[in-house]
């Protein structure tokens, strides 16, 4: 097909926070799981429905599962069966699944991964090594860049791809699960240092470059064709303020602006600092964190008694002298850098690397 629904970073997992046990009819069999897992199942179903409605194939850009190297048995079975059943119900859809770091066993160059069994599903292509996949019937070339800690290895593969894609008779897509320098993460749009620059990806050589790994949906380098898809469903308050969903790539519309983003409606993580006439509706349909001063906290006790979807945090005021060069507006990377410069200059880069890994999990 010349159209693709692109999604990424599902992170299928039984998250304990803001969740409750439910019984769900999972393709004719009742299972006991959490309501947050049910939302993830329904999101997978919605992705396939969107593919069928748009006569599109599906590209997944990595991190199908959340727990690296230790996926719970029920979660694995749910993930596998969701894909298996949807492929049966949508016989015209092909699925291309890229392997992300959370799908992998360890940090070797190309490790074993949790998507291996998905290769047994008809019309599912698991892309677990840097390779070029050709859809001869539609003239589409997918250049796949799964996650690897061997950055130089991946950069060499990209150079090889740029030689292959010189054939202009094909549509050329690059899909990767990588970190790009200057990308934004989190609700405050902090920017991270990444192993790749936009230039390393050669956006002039590919029709579209679709990326997973960082969870904030964004276009890179002022381009209309190079972008992070973002995670498919909000996972925590770090996703606050961001709509989640999929992109629709129509290869026949290349050059006519950015691809279309299609939101998928799910509960969101929302922080409230006051109670008003809209509070009840927000609490009923989202995961809510109240941040209130001590004298206002009592106002939300009724909501807390009636809902599993809220948390209450007491707002505190602190006065302290700053001993390092940071301010109120400093982001996480600036704080870590300033602290390391002052106290542990030899460990600065290692501290920043650990921070980046923590912020993308």
Q: Are 129 and 148 in contact (CB under 8 A)?
A: no
pLDDT at 234: 96
For position 153, what pLDDT does the model report? 95
Looking at every residue in the chain, the average pLDDT score rounds to 89
Report the C-alpha gap between 144 and 295 in whole angstroms.
Answer: 55
User: Do 282 and 305 fall within a single domain?
Assistant: yes
User: Which whole number is the average pLDDT over 32-36?
Assistant: 96
Position 328 pLDDT exceeds 60 = no
Contact by Cβ (8 Å): 45, 90:
no
Domain contains 324: no
Distance, in Å, from the CA atom of 67 to the CA atom of 106, rounded to the nearest integer, reads 12
pLDDT at position 207:
94
The total number of structural domains that make up the chain: 2
| Residues 185 and 285 both lie in one domain | no
Q: How far from chain centre, in Å, is Cα 33?
A: 22
183 belongs to a structural domain: yes
| Residue 49 and residue 195 in one domain | yes
Q: Is residue 333 part of a domain?
A: no
322, pLDDT greater than 60: no
Q: 136: domain range?
A: 3-263
Whether residues 158 and 275 share a domain: the answer is: no
Q: Tell me the average pLDDT across 199-208.
A: 95
pLDDT at 356 over 90: no
For residue 356, tell me if it sits in a domain.
no
pLDDT for position 358: 72
**280 and 229 share one domain:** no
Same domain as 277, residue 213? no
The answer to whether residue 327 sits within a structural domain is: no
Assess whether 244 and 300 both reside in one domain: no
pLDDT for 359 = 65
Query: Are 37 and 167 found together in one domain?
Result: yes
- Tell whether 122 and 192 lie within a shared domain: yes
Cβ atoms 156, 191 nearer than 8 A: no
Alpha carbon of 280 to those of 76, 311, 359: distances in Å? 36, 14, 31
User: Do 77 and 176 reside in the same domain of the chain?
Assistant: yes
Instruction: State whether 27 and 140 are in the same domain.
Output: yes
The domain spanning residue 194 has which CATH number? 3.60.21.10
Same domain? 216 vs 301: no
pTM for this entry: 0.84
In the chain, where does DSSP find H-type helix? 35-53, 73-89, 151-164, 279-285, 301-306, 332-343, 348-359
- Give tens-digit pLDDT for 158-201: 999 999 998 778 999 999 999 999 898 876 555 666 789 999 99
pLDDT at 319 over 60: no
């Amino acid at each position: 097909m010349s159209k693709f629904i692109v999604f990424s970073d599902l992170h299928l997992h039984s998250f304990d926070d803001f969740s409750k046990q439910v019984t769900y009819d999972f393709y004719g069999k009742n299972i006991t799981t959490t309501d947050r897992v049910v939302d993830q199942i329904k999101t997978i179903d919605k992705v396939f429905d969107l593919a069928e409605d748009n006569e599109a194939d599906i590209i997944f850009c990595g991190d199908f599962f959340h727990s690296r190297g230790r996926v719970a048995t029920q979660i694995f079975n749910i993930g596998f069966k969701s894909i298996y059943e949807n492929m049966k119900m949508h016989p015209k859809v092909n699925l291309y699944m890229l392997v992300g770091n959370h799908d992998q066993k360890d940090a070797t160059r190309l490790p074993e991964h949790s998507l291996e069994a998905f290769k047994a599903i008809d019309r599912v292509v698991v892309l677990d090594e840097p390779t070029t996949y050709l859809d001869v019937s539609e003239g589409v070339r997918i250049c796949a860049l799964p996650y690897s800690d061997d950055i130089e290895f991946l950069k060499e593969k990209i150079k090889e791809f740029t030689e292959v894609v010189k054939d202009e008779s094909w549509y050329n897509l690059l899909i990767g699960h990588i970190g790009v320098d200057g990308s934004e993460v989190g609700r405050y749009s902090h920017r991270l240092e990444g192993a790749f620059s936009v230039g390393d990806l050669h956006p002039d050589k590919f029709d579209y470059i679709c990326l997973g790994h960082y969870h904030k949906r964004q276009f890179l380098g002022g381009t209309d064709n190079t972008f992070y898809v973002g995670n498919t469903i909000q996972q925590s308050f770090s996703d606050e303020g961001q709509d989640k969903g999929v992109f629709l790539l129509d290869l026949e519309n290349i050059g006519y602006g950015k691809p279309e983003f299609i939101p998928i409606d799910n509960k969101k993580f929302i922080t409230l600092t006051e109670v008003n006439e809209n509070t009840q509706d927000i609490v009923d349909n989202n995961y809510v964190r109240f941040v209130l001063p001590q004298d206002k906290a009592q106002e939300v006790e009724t909501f807390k008694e009636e809902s599993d979807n809220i948390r209450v945090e007491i707002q505190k005021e602190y006065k302290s002298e700053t001993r390092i060069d940071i301010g109120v507006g400093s982001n996480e990377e600036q704080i870590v850098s300033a602290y390391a410069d002052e106290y542990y200059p030899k460990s600065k880069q290692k501290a920043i690397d650990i921070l980046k890994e923590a912020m993308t999990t």
